[in-house]
Structures are given as structure tokens and as C-alpha cells.
Amino acid sequence: MPQLQKRFDVQPRDFVRAGEASLQVQRMLRNIGFEEQIIRRASVCAYEAEMNIVMYGGKGEIVLTVNPDEIILQVNDDGPGIENIGAALQEGFSTAPAEYREMGFGAGMGLPNIKKNADFLDIRSGRHQGTNLRIVFHCTGESR
């Protein structure tokens, strides 16, 4: 049984509310009392994954699970999916149109950043299959 589980909706193309879900994740982790470093790593991952749903995904959600020894972020959307996950994980790979680049996105650093900040990352996706990320952070007794 997870100690805590919370679900946050993410709406595609909603740039007004973009970032809200990851902010809620950050607040929850802070309230629980995790140490700043793990909160920062989890928040970066949640934000990058949320922005990817907003820009490329479909109707989506972030599910935060806190277990005694781990934090899990499951980030799901029912959008078009990622055709080549290996390519998408490369630094600099982006399909962002000019419109997103003008907003400062599209450096192709989101997924690499998630990988760097997480202890474990699993991506399930495929064309027309939506995208599911499982991002795990191990925490010892001292992290909270």
C-alpha cells in the first residue's frame, strides 16, 4: 500500500495552467518534509514531463506516489506518442515547432534532464499509443 497517492490533471495546449501540476507535486513533497535536493530533482522531472504533455501530448495526468523508500512520478497522456524513444532521449532532439521555440522551449533537453535527475526512468510510448513515464527517486530515512 502506498503511503500517499495523488493525481493531478494536465491539459494539452493549456499554456495558462501549464506548470500547475508540477507545482502541486513540489508542494506535496515539501509538506511531507523531504529534503530540498530530492524535492528539486523531482520538481524538475515533473515540470519537464508536464510541459511535454502540454506541448506534444494528449489529455494527461501526473500521479505522485510516496512510499517509505521511494517517490514515484507516473506521467501519462493519451496523445500521439513518441515514435523513437531512443532518439527523443538524445540531448538536442526536438520536434518543437517555431511557435514553441519562440517561447523558449524546444532545446531537446527535457527528457535528458529527467533521465539525469531521476534514479530510474522507464518510458512506454509508441505511435498512437500515448506516452507513459515512470520516474523513480530512492529516498533513505534521511531524505525526509
Ligand X SMILES: Nc1ncnc2c1ncn2[C@@H]1O[C@H](COP(=O)(O)OP(=O)(O)OP(=O)(O)O)[C@@H](O)[C@H]1O
The binder of 76, among ligand X, Mg ion, none, by C-beta within 5 to 8 A per type, is: none
63 interacts with ligand X by CB under 6 A: no
Where are the extended beta strands (E) located within the chain? 4-10, 60-67, 70-77, 120-125, 131-138
Q: Would you call 1 helix, strand, or coil by DSSP?
A: coil
CB burial string 112-143: b at 16+ within 10 A, e below? bbbbebbeebebebeeeebbbbbbbbebeeeb
Name the residue nearer to Mg ion (CB basis): 52 or 143.
Answer: 52
Name the residue nearer to Mg ion (CB basis): 60 or 110.
Answer: 110
Considering only 22, 26, 43, 52, the residue that binds Mg ion (CB under 5 A) is 52
Residues contributing to the site for Mg ion (CB under 5 A): 52, 110
Residues contributing to the site for ligand X (CB under 6 A): 48, 52-53, 56-57, 77, 79-82, 88, 93-96, 105-112, 131
